[in-house]
Amino acid sequence: MKILILTKRQTTHRDILDERFGRSWHLPHALAELGHILEVHCLSYQDKTEGDILTFETGKGGKLTFNSLNAGPFGLFGFLQYARQTNRAVKEFRPDIIYAMSDTLYAILGHRLARQHRLRFFCDCQDNYETYASARLPGILPLFRRALAAADGVTCVSALLSEQLARHTSKILILNNGVSREVFFPRDQQVCRRELNLPTESRLIGFAGSLTPDRGLNILFEGFERLKQEFRDLHLVLAGSSKIDIPRYENIHHLGLLPHAKIPVFLNALDLAVICNQPSRFYDYTFPIKTYEILACGIPFIASDHVSVKQVLRDYPDCLYLTGNIESFIRAAQRQLREPNPPRLPVVTWKDLGQRLESFFRSEH
């Protein structure tokens, strides 16, 4: 198959091409490895090199090309330029399928191009796009929902999100995020700590992710202060961009936003990882990829009993704490610090997901 993918280049503070990150990077690679020919057209909201900037060929005859266009200082004008570019790409590349990813605007554009050129159209929802800023633009939500209804198929990241999308289409494949086993695997703890300039002889608990008010991080900070009374050598390590005031307690280390390649180093440096989330229109529909990255590294961890993580850890209740409950957090952390016992669960790879996506593209709905 020949597949044209539409996507934005930056997502969750990451650049999918510079950091080789996310669904828009890994799913095209998985499809190319199966012998398909793909072009991925990215719109960058930062000033980046333009044109066909990356090309990969596989032994099975697959080929993958990433094209990047800068939106420039005027976002709407940049998107119109991108729409014209992708229209030319359809005429020149002559794909069998258009696959729109990453945001409402790309779904709307993908639907329009597919209808204009009489092509099959699929849409991917990696989050609840109705919470995105683009969905607040006048007229965007009805057009997005119309694109979902007209699509030959919709892939989405979680079961709960599929229930919401089912109001607009029945042609849904739940396609969770995968883990790159060549990146996320157990590593030497001391080596990782030295690489990040962290204490080598202390106990480290840590959190990686956006440090925002809606995470419920007050539990982590208060819990850390109380845990220090029992574990005197305990340090707290944070990785991620911050929109909160981080307490200036002793033994708290904020590493800032790490490159994605450093996240497995960060995780392997820890004695205990923590996943904090609270119910929201955004987090309720996400896939707990951080859970699987930690599982792949074999690190003990605890997590709030948020709906998405609770389902994954249903057989490991000792790894869960009640959202917003400090006593529950303390008990869960104490258990893992005293007797570390990381869950043993299978981890899905991007290769596995590529095979499922290929079958979905080939099927008649």
Condensed to tens digits (0 to 9), the pLDDT of residues 216-242 reads 788 999 999 999 999 999 999 999 888
| pLDDT, mean of residues 293-303 | 93
What is the per-residue pLDDT for 282?
55
Cβ–Cβ contacts within 10 Å for residue 136, how many?
Answer: 11
Burial status of residue 359 (CB atoms within 10 A of its CB: 0-12, 13-18, 19 or more): exposed
Cα dihedral sign, 104-110-116-119: negative
Confirm whether 184 is domain-assigned.
no
DSSP for residue 130: G
* Helix, strand, coil percent values for the chain (each to nearest 5): 40, 20, 40
Task: DSSP for 132-144, please give it.
Answer: SGGGGSTTHHHHH
Cα–Cα dist 169/330, whole Å: 43
Question: In the prediction, which pLDDT does 163 show?
Answer: 92
Helix (H/G/I), strand (E/B), else coil: 129: helix
Instruction: Classify residue 161: in a domain, yes or no.
Output: yes
In one letter, which amino acid is 285?
A: Y
- Mean pLDDT estimate for the chain: 91
- CA–CA dist 58, 252 (Å, integer): 45
At 209 the pLDDT is 86
Query: Is position 257 within any domain?
Result: yes
In a domain, 35, yes or no: yes
Residue environment code for 55-69, b if the CB has 16+ CB neighbours within 10 A, otherwise e: eeebeeebebbbbbb
Q: Which amino acid is at 309?
A: V
pTM for the predicted model, two decimal places: 0.84
First to last CA, the chain: 18
CATH number at residue 240: 3.40.50.2000
Same domain assignment for residues 9 and 158:
yes
Task: Give the dihedral sign, CA 310/313/318/320.
Answer: negative
Q: Is residue 35 domain-shared with residue 87, that is, in the same domain?
A: yes
The dihedrals phi and psi of 172, each to the nearest 5 degrees, come to: -125, 135
Q: What are phi and psi of 42, to 5 degrees?
A: -110, 140
Antiparallel, parallel or unpaired: β 63-70 and 51-57? antiparallel
What would the DSSP string read from start to end of 27-78? HHHHHHHTT-EEEEEEEESS----EEEEEEE-TTS-EEEEEEEE--SSHHHH
pLDDT tens, residue by residue, 170-198: 999 999 888 888 899 999 999 999 999 99
State how far the Cα of 266 lies from the Cα of 249, in Å rounded to an integer: 20
Alpha helices in 234-281 (DSSP H): 263-268
Contact of 238 with 221, CB cutoff 8 Å:
no
Same-domain pairing of 282 and 172:
no
Same domain, 60 and 166: yes
Average pLDDT over residues 66-79: 88
Structural domain that includes position 97: 2-178+350-362
Domain count, the chain: 2
Residue 167, classed as helix, strand or coil, is coil
Whether residue 219 is contained in a domain is answered as yes
Residue 348's pLDDT is: 86
The CA distance from 217 to 7, in Å, is 31
Mean pLDDT of 342-359: 91
User: What's the CA dihedral at 264, 268, 269, 273 to 10 degrees?
Assistant: 90
Tell whether 67 is covered by a domain. yes
Tens digit of each residue's pLDDT (9 = 90 or more) over 5-21: 999 999 877 899 998 88
Round to whole Å and give the CA distance between 155 and 157.
7
125 and 240 co-located in one domain: no
* Neighbouring residues of 118: CB distance < 8 A, sequence distance ≥ 6: none
214 and 303 belong to one structural domain: yes
Share of residues in the chain with pLDDT > 90 (%):
67
Looking at the structure, tell me whether residues 166 and 26 fall in a common domain: yes
Are 145 and 271 in the same domain? no
Mean pLDDT of 121-146: 93
With respect to residue 343, please indicate whether it lies within any of the assigned structural domains.
Answer: no
Q: In this structure, are residues 271 and 244 in contact, taking their beta carbons and an 8 Å threshold?
A: no
Residue 115 pLDDT: 96
